Amino acid sequence: MEEGRRGSSSTPQSRKIMVIADPTRESAAALQYALSHAVLEQDELILVHIENSGGSWKNAFSSFLRLPSSISSSSSGSSPASNGTTTASNAAANALASEIGQGDGNFLEQMKRICEIAQPKVRVHTECIAIDGVKATAILLHGDKLGVDVIIIGQRRTISSSLLGTRRPGGSLRGSKGVDTAEYLIENSKCTCVGVTKKGQNGGYVLNTKTHKNFWLLA
């Protein structure tokens, strides 16, 4: 497995980062992590929504998706972030975050606006894909098509997955609803896939990748 496709078509300073965008708390956590810890100003951020089911999303983000009051401008060993976000940008992004789920606004476009304010130098675009098949398969195929370096997806944690990690050897999505989308992507993506779970408003994140399970990153 490759951990990042840095071929001749991309420079070491530029990555394509795909965030799976849904009107859920888990997706909000994934975006928040991406903006505060993963995305560099040279990167390209792609918000992808896979349209395969309905559901109520009113107020899903209004109290959850808020950027940290101060996003670190220096990189750390465990988190490759180097963001120059100002306090004013944070406040503006938080104000927009509070609007998500209110009225008839498009949550995908609202998420894009938050990204543009929090990371003004990062190229951001959105894609909405309608599918008839399995969500995880569509994500993998689209990620390969775009040549992404990192996939970030919100992950709903259960007691069993917290204790045992995300690995389910031999898991197949064909006709099975028992395999979690995030788990399948982590184990089968050709590029690095990070599953993100937020531990409360200020408790940081629990991260899962193919090589690191239940890694707790402070906010």
pLDDT, mean over the chain: 74
Q: Which amino acid is at 40?
A: L
Interatomic CA distance for residues 54 and 25, integer angstroms = 15
Q: Which domain holds residue 92?
A: 14-50+86-156+176-215
Which helix (H) or strand (E) segment is 25 a member of? helix 25-33
- C-alpha separations of 160 from 33, 76, 136, 157 in Å: 23, 30, 21, 8
Specify the pLDDT at position 218.
85
Is residue 154 a contact partner of residue 8, using CB atoms and an 8 Å limit?
no
pLDDT (0 to 100) of residue 148: 97
pTM of the model: 0.72
Look up the CATH number of the domain holding residue 111. Answer: 3.40.50.620
Contact 152, 33 (CB under 8 A): yes
Q: Is residue 65 part of a domain?
A: no
pLDDT digits (tens, 9 = 90+) for 189-201: 999 999 999 987 7
Q: Is residue 137 part of a domain?
A: yes
Beta bridge partners of 154: 196
* Residue 129 belongs to some domain of the structure: yes
Q: How confident is the model at residue 84 (pLDDT cuts 50, 70, 90)?
A: very low
Instruction: Say if CB 219 and CB 205 are below 8 A apart.
Output: yes
Domain membership flag for residue 79: no
Sheet holding 205-208, edge to edge: 123-130, 44-51, 16-20, 150-154, 192-198, 205-208, 215-217
93 pLDDT band (50/70/90 cuts)? low
48: CB partners within 8 A, 6+ apart:
18, 19, 20, 21, 126, 127, 128, 129, 139, 142
Helix (H, G, I), strand (E, B) or coil at 146: helix
Provide the domain count of the chain. 1
Residue type at position 212? H
- 78 is a domain residue: no
- H helix or E strand, kind and range, residue 207: strand 205-208
CA distance 157 to 197: 7
Determine the residue type at 51. Answer: E
In this predicted structure, what is the pLDDT of residue 133?
86
Least confident of 108-112, 156-160, 203-207: 156-160
pLDDT digits (tens, 9 = 90+) for 161-199: 555 454 444 445 543 455 689 999 999 999 999 999 998
More confident position, 73 or 119: 119
Query: Does residue 167 sit within a domain?
Result: no
The answer to whether residue 2 is domain-embedded is: no
163 assigned to some structural domain? no
Structure tokens at 54: 């309905």
Express each pLDDT in 2-54 by its tens digit. Answer: 344 444 454 557 999 999 999 888 999 999 999 999 999 999 999 999 986 54
